[in-house]
Structure 1
């Protein structure tokens, strides 16, 4: 696989801007991009040139950051991609096809379905450039569901004991819009008290510690020893 093109969306920008290189920051996202957010699973969007060809789309219609020359929709969540010599990204879940895509043709959003692209987080930082080689390192990290209901439950399951989380942060960590917070009370109640008691509205009073999401997206792979760690003492 190779990077066919790169795009950046600076804060306040209405559309992606084609660039030749991007600086990716581990656990944060793309430097200078409006979606840079340490608490988000949606730090960057990867799409395939095959989707553009199959649906006859104009450039940047999918609003991706990284366009690959090979389909990636079938790669499982948790897959780590090595981009160039430095950067690694973790595939999180499929990006939903929003109604904006219908501006590019009748019923485009419905026809594309799950082929819009894959959302990802940065796990190893560095600079990437158009034409860089992309290698599939395999599903090295825990998977995340395409279903937002399951992601919300997954976030709560990861919370430390005796903590609560505010609805707005729960939505952010699960990678959904804040408007979904209105559905949280009924949805969490349907999962039972063990879930309903762990998430609260911003103005709600709780004696328990408010969790900030620390450790949720932690890279759980064994750390590679540095050269200094592996040097034998010759004395």
Structure 2
């Protein structure tokens, strides 16, 4: 049963090397992200950031302080990974995991990264594309896809489990596919060692000699296609 989650209130696109732009409408591309946004990437688990109006109201924040792409009337704290949302007639999203508050938020308001806690917003992937605009209704369609963990170490495990035989994964690409900043690369050797011997050698630093082909991440989100939830024409 669909759940009414209110309206889409605002849209912002973040072009590469430019400040975010509030948009009267946007085009979402299945399996890719928002057209023209720097985070649009077929293998990224964080194509979009959804923020909720309650977080803005509770902290008295200026517009776009949370750097979201979509501002929703709903409170994103209640969202769960694996759930699917529909916005407007055709645009559907796969909820991935909550967005970690970073120090960059403090430029808008001192101490915001600490005060925001778990209310920064939810990261998501585009399943079926379409045009959206403020005022579109948002509906929850339920948990239609596997959940991704909040713990980044467990997301690293998911990515390494998808590594094709005969391939390795560079640390920076592992960070990208697991949805963490490149600064996490220095923590990878210890984290991977704790996963056990089966994971040894699957991920390598950039300086490692190219003995095996490096996996770019294609096929990581094949479950979306198998479930028939992604646009057939998407990347």
Match of 1:231 in 2: none
* Distance in 1 (alpha carbons) for counterparts of 2:122 and 2:109: 22
- Alignment partner, residue 3 of structure 2: none
**1:187 aligned counterpart, secondary structure:** helix
User: Which residue of structure 1 lines up, in the alignment, with residue 233 of structure 2?
Assistant: none
Among candidates 6, 9, 23, match of residue 14 of structure 2: 9
- Determine if the alignment matches structure 1 residue 116 to structure 2 residue 120: yes
Instruction: Report the counterpart of residue 100 of structure 1 in structure 2.
Output: 104
Q: CA deviation at 1:57?
A: 0.4
Q: Name 1:168's counterpart in structure 2.
A: 172
Structure 1 stretches lacking a partner, 5+ long: 225-235
Determine which structure has more spread, i.e. the larger CA radius of gyration: 1
1:188 is matched with which residue: 171, 178, 192?
A: 192
Number of residue pairs the alignment of both structures matches: 223
Give a deviation string over 1:141-182, Cα, whole Å, max 9, x none: 111112211111111112233432111211110111122212
User: Which deviates more from structure 2 when the two are superposed, residues 112-121 or residues 143-152?
Assistant: 143-152
8 Å CA contact 1:140, 1:221 repeated in 2: no
Aligned residues of 2:79 and 2:122 also touching (Cα < 8 A): no
In structure 2, C-alpha distance between the alignment counterparts of 1:168 and 1:72, rounded to whole Å? 29
Residues 1:42 and 2:46 are matched in the alignment: yes
Normalising by the residue count of structure 1, what TM-score does the alignment of the two structures yield? 0.89
In the other structure, the counterpart of 1:199 is: 203
What is the CA distance between 1:221 and its match in structure 2? 5.1
Give the TM-score, by structure 2 length: 0.89
Give deviations 1:87-133, integer Å, cap 9, x for gaps: 11111111111112223334221121110100111111111111101
Alpha-carbon spacing, 1:203–1:103, altered in 2? closer, same or farther (3 Å): closer
Map of 1:142-153 to 2, 5 A cutoff?
142-153=146-157
Task: Give me the CA root mean square deviation.
Answer: 1.7
SS of the equivalent of 1:50 reads helix
Q: Secondary structure at 2:43's aligned position in 1?
A: coil
What stretches of structure 2 of length at least 5 have no aligned partner?
1-5, 230-235
Higher relative contact order (CA 8 A, sep 6+): 2
Q: 1:128 to 1:163 in 2, by over 3 A?
A: same
SS of equivalent residue, structure 1 residue 184: helix
Determine whether 1:137 maps to 2:141.
Answer: yes
Q: Deviations over 1:59-111 (max 9, x none)?
A: 11001110001112212101111111111111111111111222333422112
